[in-house]
């Protein structure tokens, strides 16, 4: 997270001091970086196949957790959009980042420009920060609330806090939730940005 913020600040400082770079160059860099991020996400998901095998014993109902988290996040984005002076497609697409700030910001920067990409970065990184702060409290309400707060980060950065605040079974479901939501981000973000008006 600190590295991501440092890179963002470095980019702002570079553009401020050196001027705006060529839009084509920025677009090429974004597309290459986005491809690398998606490749790494796939490798990360593939590396967790032993956990995925164990989760298969729970049956299809275990997928209700990430589907509910996705639906709740997107609904929240749709509700918040008019209050924030945003279009519904922007609100839904931002919420569909599910806390995966590096991937969603890259996608939305390519679709809606650097301002929307920056907003996606800040929105989704704040989700992660608030999740880390409130997971112990949310776990007292219900273990699935702790998973929901983490969104896509429930398989990595917030997993430790979820594991500490819940139990082993919830930790496994948390990993599945993160994997499913991470897969959905590159599908839903462009789909919602282009279709929800």
Examine residue 8 and state whether it is found in any structural domain, yes or no.
Answer: no
pLDDT of residue 56: 73
What gap in Å lies between CA 70 and CA 96, rounded to an integer? Answer: 7
What does the pLDDT read at residue 175? 86
Report the b/e string of 141-172 with b at 16+ CB within 10 A: eebbebbbbbbbbbbbbbbebbbebbeeebbb
- Whether 174 maps to a domain, the answer reads yes
Contact, 61 vs 179, CB < 8 A? no
Domain that residue 114 falls in: 22-195
Q: Is residue 105 part of a domain?
A: yes
Task: Report whether 154 contacts 177 (CB < 8 A).
Answer: yes
Domain membership of residue 14 (yes or no) is no
pTM, rounded to two decimals: 0.75
**Counted domains in the chain:** 1
Annotate 116-166 with DSSP letters as a single string. HHHHHHHHHHHHHHHHHHHHHHHHHH-HHHHHHHHGGGGGTTTHHHHHHHS
Residue 142, in any domain of the structure: yes
Q: Calculate the CA dihedral of residues 3, 32, 69, 114 and round it to 10 degrees.
A: 70
> Alpha helix locations (H) across the chain?
2-18, 23-47, 49-55, 64-83, 88-95, 101-112, 114-141, 143-150, 159-165, 168-195
pLDDT attached to residue 44: 62
How does pLDDT run along the chain (197 residues), one tens digit per residue? 566 567 767 877 877 777 766 666 766 776 677 667 666 656 765 676 666 677 677 788 889 999 999 999 999 999 999 999 999 999 999 999 999 888 888 899 888 888 999 899 999 989 988 998 899 999 999 999 999 999 999 988 888 888 889 887 888 898 889 999 999 999 999 999 987 55
Residue 95 falls inside a structural domain: yes
- Residue 2 placed within a domain: no
Q: What are phi and psi of 143, to 5 degrees?
A: -60, -35
């Amino acid at each position: 997270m600190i590295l991501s913020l440092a890179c963002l600040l470095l980019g702002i400082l570079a553009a401020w001091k050196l001027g705006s770079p060529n839009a084509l160059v920025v677009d090429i860099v974004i597309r290459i970086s986005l491809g690398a991020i998606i490749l790494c996400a796939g490798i990360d998901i593939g590396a967790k196949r032993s956990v995925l095998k164990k989760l298969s014993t729970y049956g299809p109902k275990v997928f209700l957790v990430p589907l509910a988290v996705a639906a709740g996040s997107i609904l929240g984005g749709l509700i918040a959009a008019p209050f924030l002076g945003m279009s519904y497609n922007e609100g839904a697409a931002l919420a569909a980042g599910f806390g995966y700030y590096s991937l969603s910001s890259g996608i939305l920067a390519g679709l809606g420009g650097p301002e929307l990409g920056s907003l996606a970065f800040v929105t989704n990184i704040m989700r992660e920060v608030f999740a880390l702060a409130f997971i112990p409290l949310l776990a007292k309400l219900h273990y699935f609330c702790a998973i929901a707060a983490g969104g896509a980060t429930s398989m990595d950065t917030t997993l430790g806090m979820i594991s500490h605040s819940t139990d082993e079974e919830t930790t496994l479901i948390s990993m599945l939730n993160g994997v499913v939501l991470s897969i959905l981000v590159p599908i839903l973000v462009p789909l919602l940005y282009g279709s929800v008006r």
